[in-house]
Amino acid sequence: MNDPFDFFRVSLLPNIGSKRGRALLSAFGSFAELLRATESDLIRIDGINRLTARKLRSAFRSERHEGAIERMTEKNRSAAAARGFSFLHVGHASYPVPLRNIYDPPLFLFCWGELTDEDQAGIAVVGTRRPSDYGRRVTEEFCRTFAEHGITIVSGLAFGIDTVAHRTALRSGGRTLAVLGSGLLRIYPSVNRGIAEETAGQGCVLSELPLEAKPDAVNFPRRNRIISGLCRGLIVVESAVTGGAMISASVALDQNRDVFVVPGSIYNAMSAGPHSLLRRSMAQLATSPEQVMEELALQPAASPKQQPKPVVQLSLVEQQILAQLSEEPLHIDDLATRSGQPLSSLLTDLLQMEFKGIIRQLPGKYFQRGSTHAN
């Protein structure tokens, strides 16, 4: 293969996916030689019938006259070089081995950041775009523990659980991989560009699409096979019975990956998906990050990457308020009674404590302890 970008070129042909693309390049050696193929040459290739061969011949004629594929290729090659993106084709030595071994691995990946050998024992964490506070807390706990033990966290950079997973990995000093359903120059959602930039410095952002590809709906189911293909196991935190997380779980099972689900409240609609997987014996129950690591036979790092936990000073009144709170939500009226603080001043104190990360406010004026340590 003289030009690695031949994998990019062949991906732009009609009706050509991973298997056919690899077969064509293997048979003809280069895209330039492929353009000279006759119909009889093409139908000798496994997976190419006469109708597909005729469509390809039409595309070849168009390319020889107009050169649209070549212009697109050179545009992406130049843009990738200018921005420091790497290009990995499916035969490249650095292409992730677990992903190469799925049924339909991407012909190529544009990468913003760096892939390492340790990423090949990653865990994917996916879920709803509208997580409950419980879902966020569980995601934070699991991802923080994985990151501290040197396990890479894989997700899709979407709102909700994906965002929490990436952000927690980054804050915990761990590695994370973000797989896009758009091109690297069209980060979606755009508000997560900051997370993408951090990920590029502490992991990798990947896409199998041209650099300026829009986040069209058809891209995301295909994106999900890469998320599960990169990992050893996949965890669904919260999801409805349909949606991207459930597609990821189904694809992961097809790829012979272990699927785990976090149990949720029967009163939460976002528990329906995980509970459905459990009822149908399609997933294992995940009760702790340690249990998941044990089930996947992942050897944690010898010295967990412990990050110093923030410590803040509290006033005497704030200490009295904090003493009444736990992981269980407590309504403000009950908190006022227990702490003996007037409701008016209690609201002010709680706001200051929330700014410090000591407590969390939940819908309905309920409060619970946060993750920051206090003196």
> What pLDDT sits at residue 375?
56
> What pLDDT sits at residue 5?
97
Q: Is 313 exposed, middle or buried (0-12, 13-18, 19+ CB in 10 A)?
A: exposed
CA distance 288 to 21: 42
> What pLDDT sits at residue 291?
96
> What pLDDT sits at residue 328?
79
> What pLDDT sits at residue 329?
84
Bridge partners for 178 per DSSP: 155, 205
> What pLDDT sits at residue 90?
94
> What pLDDT sits at residue 371?
65
Task: Show Cβ contacts of residue 15 under 8 Å, excluding neighbours closer than 6 positions.
Answer: 52, 55, 56
> What pLDDT sits at residue 358?
82
The structure tokens 């496994």 sit at: 46
> What pLDDT sits at residue 302?
47
The structure tokens 């040197």 sit at: 150
Look at residue 100 and give its three-state secondary structure.
helix
Rg of the chain on CA atoms, in Å: 25
Query: Number of C-alpha atoms within 13 angstroms, CB side, residue 190?
Result: 3
pLDDT tens, N- to C-terminus, the chain (375 residues): 579 999 999 999 999 999 999 999 999 999 999 999 999 999 999 889 999 999 999 999 999 999 999 999 999 999 999 999 999 999 999 999 999 999 999 999 999 999 999 999 999 999 999 999 999 999 999 999 999 999 999 999 999 999 999 999 999 999 999 999 999 999 999 999 999 999 999 999 999 999 999 999 999 999 999 999 999 999 999 999 998 999 999 999 999 999 999 999 999 999 999 999 999 999 999 999 999 999 999 876 544 454 555 567 788 888 889 888 887 788 999 998 988 888 888 888 888 888 777 888 887 888 888 766 665
> What pLDDT sits at residue 366?
86
> What pLDDT sits at residue 326?
82
> What pLDDT sits at residue 370?
76
> What pLDDT sits at residue 373?
60
> What pLDDT sits at residue 303?
47
